[in-house]
Amino acid sequence: MSEVKTVENMVSITIDGTEYKAKEGEYILNAARANDIFVPAICYLTRCSPTLACRICLVEADGKQVYSCNTKVKEGMEVTIDTPNILEERRAIMEVYDVNHPLQCGVCDKSGECELQNYTLELGVDSQSYMIPDTKREVANWSSVLHYDPGLCIVCERCTTVCKDMIGDAAITTTKRGGADLDKAYKETMPKDAYSMWNKLQKSVIAPSNGTDETNCSDCGECVAVCPVGALVSRDFVYQSNAWDLKRVPAVAAHSSDGAQIYYEVKPTSIEDRTEKIFRITNEWSYVSLDGSARFAYDFQNTTATKDKAAFDAAIEAFKKAETVRFNAMITNEEAAMLQTLKEKMGLKLYNLEVRAFQKFLNHYEAASGNALWSTDTDAIMKKSDFVISIGAALRNDSPAMKYAFNNVQKMNKGAGLYFHPVGDTLIPTFGKNVEIFNHKVGLEEAALYLVLDLFADKEKLPSEVKDYIESFKTTETKTIKEKVEKTVKEMVLNEETGEEEEVSKKVKEMVEKEITVSTNGLIDLLGGDASKFDDVFAKMMKKKENFSMMLGEDLYYHDKAENIAKLVALVEATCPINVVMTPPKSNALGVALICELDDAPSGYTVGYNENGDFKLSALGTGDLDMPAMNQQEGTLCNIGKRLLPTNAAVEYNGYELNDLMKVLVGAPELTIDWTATLPKERGFKGIEFDALTNSFDNDGTDNRGYVLETSNVETELPEVEKCDENAVLEGDIAYRCNPARQFNDFTDKSHEIFEAFALYASVEKAESLGDKVEVVFENGSITLDVVADAKMTGDIVKVPDYRAAEGVYDLFGESRYKTVTLRKA
Amino acid sequence: MSLEQFKNRNVGVQNYTTLDVGVSPTTNKAKFVQFITRAVKGELFVGLWVTGKAMFKALFQGDMHTVKYPFEKMPISPRYRAIHDMLRLLESGSYRCIGCGLCEKICISNCISMDTRYDENQRKEVSEYTINFGRCIFCGYCAEVCPELAIVHGPRYENASEQRAGFSLFEDMLTPIDKLNLQQEYDGFGAISPNADENIKQTPLAY
Amino acid sequence: MGETVVDLLPEVTWVGVLIKAVLILAIISALAGFGTFIERKVLAFMQRRLGPMHVGPYGLLQIAADGIKLFTKEDIIPQNANKFIFKIAPVITAATAFIALSAVPVFPDFTIPEFIPVLGGVFVPSIASDLNIGILFVLGMMAAGLYGPLLAGMSQANKWGIIGAARTAVQFLSYEVVTGLSILAPIMLVGSLSFVDFNNYQHDEGVWMMFYQPVAFVLFLIAGFAETNRTPFDLLEHEAEVVSGYATEYSGMRWGMFFIGEYANMITISVIASIVFMGGYNPETMLFGFSIGWLLIMLKIAFFFFLMLWVRASWPHIRPDQLMWLCWKVLMPLALINILITALVVMV
């Protein structure tokens, strides 16, 4: 384990005459924001790199005008936010932004939440000095969810920045729009920054970066969230409602295990129908980024539910008859606690395929490491880490938070990354140039961990047999190679966009011959890498790196040798300066794993909760008794950040809840949320009442939502690990249980803005060879699926989604995520 | 007046003006004289003369003040705030309403409700619009806040109904397209002031 | 006294008197109703309004509408009222008013044409009962009318009613004195209490009594307003002070009877004033060969009726203490002085 820096180096700076503390290396703008001081800024996004598009964050630091979004604080720095000259610049910039901006604020979906409007008023723009002919710009729909009105766009590039730096899709970019040239006279008469900003603004517009009219992205909608004006809106929300009419219900995104903060924004459906409907999802985009399921899968509520007494009585009978309750991760902690109570009092078996493997893995991990939970979280990785390793996670599909963290580390922390996964993904390499990908064979996750041990472990700490085992892979030889040497040449270039003269360094390459000794690491070859080049690459990756972290995915939990992997992870933590984060497979898998004692196999009469069963409780409205969906109930969820998070009911629910059944079966408190304080303290819960849970962020991004679960740390000996079985790899056609990016469960499937099909996903070549429809034959059954080509996949492994509980995909895969299957054209 | 001033104000001293009502007689003689004077003065007949003249004028000179209300109506001020009208653009006949929702927001009795949608011409369109006249207090805020002078108060004040809630739809209040030429520009709350031009700053639009 | 016209008329039979009584009852009731209509109209005109307009032409059928309303309205008797007296009180008012009219000449004498069966040829006199103490009887009956409001106010168990009743007693009794004393002077001149004699006296003298006895005329008028409970002396049921005074608890036709009584009294006072002070009817007054005496008395009566309305439209009402002050300190002394002077003149 690495040393966690508890006290960061603080410096003192003076802003407008008052002294403040700021973190070393932070930008002036962020330091000011953390201290509750307002500095105007449009284009800057807290967790992304400075864009320098708007230029209104100009401040005076130590007598020089600087952009506060890209100038780091220094000890004793004197900052003045407003000087007459800066105010003049800012006003000119805002006037320029207002040139030709349509005066249709009345119908704009931003409806008063507009930053252009705010800053125009803030800077007192009451007259316009500039003019230029307007260009016709056509409204475009970029994808099934994105609507772009370039007429309203001020090209602040927040959308492109967040897409590149946070989401990692880099699906949109600025392009030329063919606007008229500025009158040259302006160059002399207007403030310099305003002129260069305008020069750029007049020429650019945002468009999909792949050159087509459609973005090929994960449809997360984060660009919509960050848009300061009404240019980017979700297609479903265009002209539907004014922002002020919507009531915000703070909640937690229900589908992935990110547990991202969201607001359900509700108002009555229409004039005739006064029941409340969720119109959109918003988030605190400065502090949290949503994935597509969190933003667009919101209308999954159970609308048909009524208090059906007959069904209720039948449910009571079913529970009395039942031996097993089958459920999944889409359940609150409180309901999980209820089911655990049923297990204790009625002897019911709890069967949960989504969580069981994860729970076992956690138990092994705890036994091996002495830690109940992993040591870091994705938020901390984004803030501090500069080297990330991902093992066993299909980053693009499994855990958006891990994907964003992996990408953000590359972009923001000048980081590097190692990505171990059997399924090739073309998106990962685009995250950064220091990302190294290992598309290893299925079953070699242990080898990956051994490689991590080899690369990072303090060899002194390693047990000798492990050390010997790692060394056994290594060979040494001498080679003559040609090497490229780069020389840097500086020259002055006129920047077309801004019209400024800039100094640009160009790199010129030369070839030099060299003779070197190369040690070859067999592990790298085993994992499908190029051992001959890896050392150099790795040396480059390791430059100036201080904070390492490792992200573990669902593949490991469903591994045949999960116990050994858990021990290896514990070993990595014990011997390497690496922090670990694990992604709970879905939704509230962590909560279920901590609260419920799950059983390995069902037996007898089964009650299914959102799952198949002899009697079905369902929040989807399809079961024998209706249950509230996640957006209809209060409760808590546990997420990847090891937090217990409160979520609230956004829409009304008229049926029975699980707690009502509990009252009859074994007795229960009045409300579901009365269970919150009773969650098991020995598993890290704090016994805080639901209503006492906080739900906010601080100005500097500190997360105050709910509380962090307490993790017990017991000193343990280093675990004894087994060797990696190199021959235990799967061959032939392999199916990988993996959902498309925005699908997680039946509820995302039900939501009308989620379009990803329940189909077999394969790389383009594989899809062509498979045809339109295919029968996937497992040992214990088969499933027939349409074939969808995923342009970002490579390799032969096909993905079979599991998000429809009724399809029983979990049963087909059993306790592993990869299966050798026969693919038959159907 | 601040609260402090209000509390400390001197209630006892006010600028009342005393009416000169003369002096009441005290002696019997004076009282008698006053009585005789008043009795002979004929003030009573002045009263009769006034009412008689009024009657004569009313009957024979057409000076009758009664307005036979349901059959005759008084002209009302353009500022009068009665049932709303939805105006059209005079040139095109299109709705003036852009669906901005400000009237809905500002309505202090919460009686305006609207639904909007994205129409085929990529514009915002009001798909449903109602005012509950059972709740409306005719304060005029909606007309005042309307940026397009689309919702205004009309002269239709006879809105008694059998039920307390009375909903009016957009179409009910809209100027009929064939009566567009009769549409009156509204002069009341929210209308453009006569000197509006003086308050506008010029913006360069020379290209 | 010379021969009067009346002496020349045919014999008065009981059938004729009965017909006359029915006629008075019917016509005066109708006139009372019509009086309300006229009152509303005149008051409206004086305030430049139109008055009732919607029921019938110029609102004429408003009378019928009001009648229907009064007859069909629920008759409410308060729980704690003395029910018998409560019920009887309006009847007293109405009855005394009509009984008073029996000694007053209303409408000319006529004989029912022969062609009408049964009643054909019956002579109907102008006065139902030509008592030789006519004036005394009329004033007496009107004074007895005091019992109506008095009993009504006392029986209804209502504080406003009690106040109304008290005011009734004070006002009616006080002004009865003035009425009596003021009319005593003309009686002294004429030497008779019969209306016919008054009529004839003025006819013979050729001068209206009001010019012989101006003080008596004015006093009688003032007292008449008070006796009939008209503005400015409408203290009995002044809304602003005592809700509706003695009539507070009355509704429907019982209230209607007070109403009819009040208007009948107004007509009676008008008739007395016309006959005693303004020359009465003179059948020998001719115009284009027609006797217009009856037409003239109608006009005179109408004038007095109109005067009451006119006064109501113009003048404010007075306080009870002012009312008493006026009665006992001004009007009664004046009346006594007037009698004294008249007596001296008659003696000399």
Range of the domain at C289: 6-347
Residues near B109 by Cβ (< 8 Å), separated by ≥ 6? B135, B136, B137, B139
Chain A residues inside the 8 Å CB shell of B125:
239
- Continuous segment of H or E residues that includes residue A200: helix A192-203
The pLDDT assigned to A552 comes to 94
Domains and CATH numbers, chain B: 84-191 (3.30.70.3270)
Q: Is C132 on the interface with B (CB under 8 A)?
A: no
- CA-based nearest residue to C252, from C118, C125, C87, C99: C87
Do residues A643 and A706 make contact, with C-beta atoms less than 8 angstroms apart?
yes
Selecting from A127, A131, A240 the residue whose C-beta is nearest the C-beta of B207 gives A131
From CA A200, how far away is CA A198, in angstroms rounded?
5
From first CA to last CA, the distance across chain B in angstroms is 54
From C47, C314, C330, residue closest to B48, measured CB to CB: C314
Has residue C258 been placed in a domain? Answer: yes
B59 touches chain C (CB under 8 A): yes
What is the C-alpha separation between B74 and A80, in angstroms, rounded? 66
Is C1 domain-assigned?
Answer: no
Physical contact, B and A (3 or more Cβ pairs within 8 A): yes
Residue with token string 């996903």 = A761
CA A727, chain centre distance (Å)? 34
Phi-psi region of C343 (alpha: psi -120 to 50; beta: other; left: phi over 0): alpha
Do A242 and B128 lie within an 8 Å CB cutoff?
no
* Chain B residues touching residue C45 (CB < 8 angstroms): 54-55, 58-59
Residue A325 to residue A608: CA distance in whole angstroms: 6
| Number of structural domains found in chain C | 1
- Determine, for residues A106 and B147 on separate chains, whether the beta-carbon distance falls below 8 Å: yes
CB contact under 8 A, C47 and B54: yes
Residue C80 sits at the chain B interface (C-beta within 8 Å): no
Which two tokens mark C115? 């062609």
Give the SS3 label for residue A550. strand
Partner chains of C (3+ C-beta pairs under 8 Å): B
Contact status of C42 with chain B (Cβ, < 8 Å): yes
* Nearest CB to B51; choose among C49, C50, C313: C313
- Which of B35, B55, B68 shows the shortest C-beta gap to C46? B55
Using CB atoms, pick whichever of C45, C47, C330 lies closest to residue B59.
Answer: C45
Is C306 within 8 Å of chain B by CB? no
Q: Is residue C32 part of a domain?
A: yes
| Phi, then psi, of C46 in degrees rounded to 5 | -70, -20
Find the Cα–Cα–Cα–Cα dihedral C110, C114, C120, C125, rounded to 10°. Answer: 10
Interface check C336 vs B, CB under 8 A: no
Select from C46, C49, C314 the Cβ nearest to the Cβ of B66.
C49
Residue-range domains of chain A with CATH: 309-352+596-708 (no CATH), 360-470+527-582 (3.40.228.10), 734-825 (2.40.40.20)
- Hunting for tokens 């353009």 — which residue is that? B78
Structural contact between residues B183 and B155, judged by C-beta atoms closer than 8 angstroms? no
pLDDT of residue A373: 92
From chain C, pick out residues whose CB is under 8 angstroms from the CB of B31: none
B106/A contact by beta carbon, under 8 A: no
User: How many B×C Cβ pairs under 8 Å?
Assistant: 42
Structure tokens at A3: 């040393």
B105 touches chain A (CB under 8 A): yes
User: Are A126 and B201 a contacting pair at CB < 8 A?
Assistant: yes
User: For chain A, which ranges sit under pLDDT 50?
Assistant: 1-6
Q: A123-138 pLDDT, tens per residue?
A: 999 888 898 988 888 8
Please give the pLDDT value at position A754.
92
Q: Which candidate from B113, B204, B207 shows the least CB-CB separation from A129?
A: B204
For B51-96, the pLDDT digits (tens) are: 999 999 988 888 888 888 888 888 888 888 889 999 999 888 899 9
Say if residues C213 and C189 touch (Cβ distance below 8 Å): yes
Whether B51 and C50 lie within 8 Å, measured CB to CB: no
Residue with tokens 């979700």: A234
Closest of A347, A354, A344, A341 to residue A661, by C-alpha: A341
- Please check whether residue A585 is in contact with residue A347, taking contact to mean a CB–CB distance below 8 angstroms: no
Chain C contacts in chain B segment 141-180 (CB below 8 A): none
Chain B nearest-CA distance from A714, in A, is 59
Q: Chain B window 113-132: which residues touch A at a Cβ cutoff of 8 Å? A: 113-119, 122-125, 128-130
- Residue pair A20/A12 in contact (Cβ under 8 Å)? The answer is yes
- Give the rounded distance of the alpha carbon of A548 from its chain centre: 19
A vs B: CB pairs below 8 A:
59
CA distance B111 to B131: 5
Give the ipTM of the model, two decimals please.
0.80
In the predicted model, residues of chain C with pLDDT beneath 50 are: 1-6
- Report how far residue A232's alpha carbon sits from residue A241's, in angstroms, rounded to the nearest whole number: 15
Is some CB atom of chain C closer than 8 A to the CB atom of B47?
yes
Q: Do A239 and B116 touch (CB under 8 A)?
A: yes
Set of chain B residues whose Cβ sits within 8 Å of the Cβ of C310: 48, 51-52
CA-nearest of A252, A247, A260 to A220 is: A260
> Could you read off the pLDDT tens digit of each residue along chain B, which spans 207 residues?
677 777 777 766 667 788 888 888 889 999 888 888 887 788 888 889 999 999 999 888 888 888 888 888 888 888 888 899 999 998 888 999 999 999 999 999 999 999 999 999 888 999 999 999 889 999 999 999 998 889 999 888 888 888 888 888 988 899 998 888 888 888 877 788 888 888 887 777 755
Rounded Cα–Cα distance for residues A401 and A382 (Å) = 10
Q: What is the pLDDT of residue A476?
A: 80
Asked whether C243 and C160 are in contact (CB, 8 A), the reply is yes
